[in-house]
Amino acid sequence: MAELSLQHIDKIYDNNVQAVFDFNIDVKDGELIVLVGPSGCGKSTTLRMVAGLEDISNGKLFLDGRDITQTPAKDRDMAMVFQNYALYGHMTIYENMAFSLTLRKEDPNVIHKKVLAAAEILGLTSQLNKKPSQLSGGQRQRVAMGRSIVRNPKVFLFDEPLSNLDAKLRGATRREILLLHKRLSATMLYVTHDQTEALTLADRIVCMSMGHVQQIGTPLELYDSPNNLFVAGFIGLPPMNFFDVTFEDGKLKGKGFEVSLSDEEKYTLSDYNRQEITLGVRPEDIVEGGTLHVKVFSNENLGMNTLVHGHMGANGENRISAKLRGWTDYKNGDEAMVSFKRKHFFDKQTTNSIRKGER
């Protein structure tokens, strides 16, 4: 059982640069939380504060109700997997995995059993006598995970563990981490800048930007109802299309195009009459057939879908990307007729999402 609670946590460096602002979250036992955001958003700093590798400037950190804000890293009973593996190059794989238990002077027989069990889970049994330099990148990262598993820690921390692996290996290792999480039912904090990892792994995602938490929610919540323009643009690949539009006469009028709205959408925008807002449309919410003209300049067939890029509007003022179903074969300069299946609306000033009755 391990419940983690971060309360009003700030990180201010000695040079007065603030990296994290008022971070709050209660992590439930066995939950996998993914911190996601672009480089420099404060996600790794937050993880390092939880690990005890960085001091917490303000706020409190609780583990199972116990205040561990000032507890040294070595006494927090957390294990961490680093981006660049951080294996002990002078030790064998066995010694690497047994290191933390050896430090605690556990019975060698128990250590042996635990190392073998972890190696078995991760498929490293035949590699135990090798040195890290003799292993591939994926195997090394598995050793780093094995080093965490043997300890049976209260919390697992992952700092961009897949960043150094190639695309194929990344997918495989991601599935291994997911299986590991299911198997151990452990509380995990996982940092990544890759939204695919965030969406596939997380029970809940914390999306961050410039040190501020933008939204905390399940992957579906972040994808389906993003809190603001940043989350909407960050989550989803290809990213959401944004258009400057004005809500007028029950329609959205953009540069050289008009979009009609459903009654529900009109109700949502009822407070924004004759005002400029941002319209967001996911590429996968664009379908063929409709009244919007798109002049295509690129047609990328992906198998099940086709990614079509073009310009929309009378004079092609709006850049648009659409993920169309099936195999289309538009040539450069062809015109496609499309419509928007689902729309997101954002306040132009606050960049926050406009929801029913909210302003």
Residues 35 and 47: beta-carbon distance below 8 Å: yes
- Rounded to a whole number of angstroms, the minimum distance from the CB of residue 212 to other proteins is 26
Q: In whole angstroms, what is the distance from residue 154 CA to residue 341 CA? A: 45
Complex with other proteins: residue 190 or 345, whichever CB lies closer: 190
Containing H/E element for 14? none
Record the tokens describing residue 119, joined without a space: 């190696």
Spatial strand order in the sheet of 344-347? 257-260, 251-254, 241-248, 276-281, 344-347
- Rounded to a whole number of angstroms, the minimum distance from the CB of residue 172 to other proteins is 17
In terms of Cα–Cα distance, which of 87, 188, 72, 73 is closest to 147? Answer: 87
Complex with other proteins: residue 44 or 227, whichever CB lies closer: 44
Q: Phi, psi at residue 75, to the nearest 5°?
A: -105, 10
Q: In whole angstroms, what is the distance from residue 69 CA to residue 133 CA? A: 36
Residues 162 and 173: beta-carbon distance below 8 Å: yes
Complex with other proteins: residue 89 or 108, whichever CB lies closer: 89
Complex with other proteins: residue 151 or 193, whichever CB lies closer: 151
- Rounded to a whole number of angstroms, the minimum distance from the CB of residue 282 to other proteins is 35
Complex with other proteins: residue 25 or 78, whichever CB lies closer: 78
- Rounded to a whole number of angstroms, the minimum distance from the CB of residue 213 to other proteins is 24
Q: In whole angstroms, what is the distance from residue 312 CA to residue 296 CA? A: 9
Record the tokens describing residue 76, joined without a space: 């927090």
Complex with other proteins: residue 54 or 347, whichever CB lies closer: 54
- Rounded to a whole number of angstroms, the minimum distance from the CB of residue 278 to other proteins is 40
* Beta pairing, strands 187-192 & 32-36: parallel
Complex with other proteins: residue 118 or 240, whichever CB lies closer: 118
Interacting residues with other proteins (CB under 8 A): 51-53, 73-76, 78-80, 82-91, 99-100, 103-104, 131-135, 137, 140, 147, 151, 157, 164
> In the beta sheet, which residues pair with residue 310?
296, 320
Buried b (16+ CB within 10 A) or exposed e, 134-150: ebebbbbbbbbbbbbbb
